Amino acid sequence: MQPSLTLGIESSCDETGVALYHSEKGLLAHTLYSQVKLHAEYGGVVPELASRDHIRKLLPLIHQTIEDAQIDSKDITGIGYTAGPGLMGALLSGAAVARSLAYAWKIPAVGVHHMEGHLLAPMLEENKPEFPFVCLLISGGHSMIIRVDGIGQYKLLGDTLDDAAGEAFDKTAKMLGLGYPGGPEVSKLATRGETGRYIFPRPMVDRPGLDMSFSGLKTFTLNTWLAAKKQGDDSDQTKADICRAFEISVAETLAIKCKRALEQEGLNRLVVSGGVSANREIRKKLDALMAKRKGEAFYPRLEFCTDNGAMIAYAAAKRLDAGEHNDLNFACRPRWHL
Ligand code: KG4
Ligand code: ZN
């Protein structure tokens, strides 16, 4: 088979990501522009502003990535873009640029599922997992446990019944008056928190099955914070102690669910990806679980935990190499099951 060179474009939310993946040489270059500062003053992503910023940044980033990779745009054999799930305007911005380039360059384009991108991100690392494995996908919009037997062979084992893990971090941060995005802020403050001052529940662990729920934990956090404030204690230390209890509860809950999934599937390889997989406490708990089981946990490098173009380029390359592509009128899907 001729080697392929895939341009990947991510624009589903508030990060514009572009990357070039070569089937034999691996990842050649990747660029990222984060809109975090733009949305921070609103405390969350403003869809209209996100789309406008993607449009402004996409072509300069594509130029930059091609320059960084030291290739000629004529060598690109296919393009992949995130077709969903995500914000419709943001998705359309990336899709329009990707499809226009594919049309102009007479090469195939493929719409990639954003969560497939996250799921495959650890494949970009030197120490990558072999199939089959259990994948814990934890991001701002999703919390899923999936059995993965190969590219495109995904069996959903468990899902959140309400909030995603990242959403729970973001909402907890908002309640405590911390910045956006909340995950890294809660995590940073938690390092200064006292372990054990508060003990939060581990949601859904007493029930059989692999589904998760984080909205009750969010309410528990709010009630704890309100009770502390009522007693005149709104100190930074109390905030840190609450963050610590919240983070430990999420990490332990995820570890219990992962253990259950691995036992159920008879597997001992765990892949953890999506924005929340950057969390140190969660990694610590899952590493301990896998060490005890004499198995292994695989993660993307920190910069590829959150949204990026590299994971989309990789997923697209695998699909294009397998002969898949989409018509240029392929629709974006703001809601899309994996
Ligand atoms: O994967 P991602 O970039 O976007 C989605 O596809 O949703 O994930 C973003 C989510 C946000 O909720 C953010 O707060 C969370 O990942 N996050 C973290 C950490 N870094 C990012 N949550 C906990 N700890 C972190 N260190
Ligand atoms: Zn994402």
> Which residue's CA is minimally distant from atom 7 of ligand 1?
140
**Domain 130-299 in the same topology as domain 5-120+305-321:** yes
Domain borders along the chain are 5-120+305-321, 130-299
Q: What is the pLDDT of residue 87?
A: 97
Rounded distance from Cα 272 to ligand 1 centre (Å): 13
Rounded distance from Cα 283 to ligand 1 centre (Å): 14
Planar angle of CA 47, 187, 54, nearest 5 degrees: 20
Rounded distance from Cα 215 to ligand 1 centre (Å): 16
Rounded distance from Cα 23 to ligand 1 centre (Å): 29
> Which residue's CA is minimally distant from atom 10 of ligand 1?
140
Q: Which amino acid is at 184?
A: P
Indicate the top mutation candidate among 277, 299, 306 to test ligand 1's pocket, ranked by most ligand atoms within 8 A of CB: 306
Rounded distance from Cα 10 to ligand 2 centre (Å): 9
> Which residue's CA is minimally distant from atom 14 of ligand 1?
183
Q: Which atom of ligand 1 is nearest to the CA of 187?
A: 24
Tell me the longest C-alpha to C-alpha distance in the chain: 69
Q: Which amino acid is at 27?
A: L
Ligand 1 shell residues, CB under 6 Å: 13, 118, 139-141, 166, 169-170, 181-184, 187, 274-276, 278-279, 306-307
Q: Which atom of ligand 1 is nearest to the CA of 115?
A: 6
Per the listing, tokens 């896998």 go with 290
Rounded distance from Cα 176 to ligand 2 centre (Å): 24
Reduced to 3 states, what is the DSSP secondary structure of residue 204? coil
Are 173 and 183 spatial neighbours (Cβ–Cβ below 8 Å)?
yes
Half-sphere CA count of 39, side-chain side, radius 13 A = 20
Which residues does 324 contact at the CB level (< 8 Å), separation at least 6?
110
Going by the DSSP 8-state scheme, the letter that residue 212 receives in this structure is B
Report domain 5-120+305-321's class.
Answer: alpha beta
Q: Which atom of ligand 1 is nearest to the CA of 170?
A: 14
Q: What is the pLDDT of residue 328?
A: 86
Question: Which ligand has the shortest distance to the CA of 184?
Answer: 1
Q: Which atom of ligand 1 is nearest to the CA of 12?
A: 6
CA 12 to each of CA 44, 193, 261, 337: distance values in angstroms, whole numbers, following the listed order: 14, 34, 29, 15
Distance separating alpha carbons of residues 265 and 70, to the nearest angstrom: 44
CB atoms within 10 A of CB 314: 26
Tokens standing for residue 301: 């490098």
* Binding site feature residues: 114, 118, 137-141, 170, 183, 279, 307
Q: What is the pLDDT of residue 1?
A: 82
- Find the DSSP H helices in 106-193: 114-120, 165-175, 182-190
Q: What is the pLDDT of residue 180?
A: 85
* Binding site feature residues for Fe cation: 114, 118, 307
CATH architecture of 130-299: 2-Layer Sandwich (3.30)
CA 240 to each of CA 34, 101, 237: distance values in angstroms, whole numbers, following the listed order: 27, 48, 5
Tokens standing for residue 167: 């959403």
Distance separating alpha carbons of residues 169 and 202, to the nearest angstrom: 15
Instruction: Report the candidate in 48, 49, 9 with the shortest Cα–Cα distance to residue 32.
Output: 9
* Binding site feature residues for substrate: 137-141, 170, 183, 279
pLDDT tens-place values along the chain, 338 residues long:
899 999 999 999 999 999 999 999 999 999 999 999 999 889 889 999 999 999 999 999 999 999 999 999 999 999 999 999 999 999 999 999 999 999 999 999 999 999 999 999 999 999 999 999 999 999 999 999 999 999 999 999 999 999 999 999 999 999 999 988 899 999 999 999 999 999 999 998 888 999 999 999 999 999 999 999 999 999 999 999 999 999 999 999 999 999 999 999 999 999 999 999 999 999 999 999 999 999 999 999 999 999 999 999 999 999 999 999 999 888 899 999 99
- Find the DSSP H helices in the chain: 36-40, 47-69, 88-105, 114-120, 165-175, 182-190, 215-230, 236-265, 280-292, 309-321
Instruction: Report the candidate in 79, 76, 49 with the shortest Cα–Cα distance to residue 324.
Output: 79
